[in-house]
Amino acid sequence: MKKKLGLELEQEITVCYSRVSANDQKKDLERQRQELKNYCEQQKYTNVLEIKETGT
């Protein structure tokens, strides 16, 4: 994962990946992102990378 992201990190990272398949689902994308963010905060994860994607 570090090579794919171009990161040189000593610590592990947590990747939060949110995806929807169409532009009209942006509210769902934001909801997914917020749920993942809340989970990471509850688990006290500190090195978090968020990735959001909208399909075609």
pTM for the complete prediction? 0.76
> Would you say residue 49 lies in a domain?
yes
Q: How far is CA 16 from the centre of its chain?
A: 2
> What is the torsion angle, in degrees rounded to the nearest 10, for the CA atoms of residue 15, residue 12, residue 45 and residue 33?
-10
Q: For residue 15, what are the β-bridge partners?
A: 49
Q: How many domains does the chain have?
A: 1
The whole domain housing 46 covers 13-54
> Would you say residue 5 lies in a domain?
no
d(CA 45, CA 56): 31
Is 55 in contact with 22 (CB distance < 8 Å)?
yes
What per-residue string of b and e applies to 45-56 under the rule 16 or more CB within 10 Å gives b? eeeeeeeeeeee
> Would you say residue 4 lies in a domain?
no
What tens digit of pLDDT does each residue of 1-55 get? Answer: 555 666 666 778 899 999 999 989 999 999 999 999 999 999 999 899 999 999 8
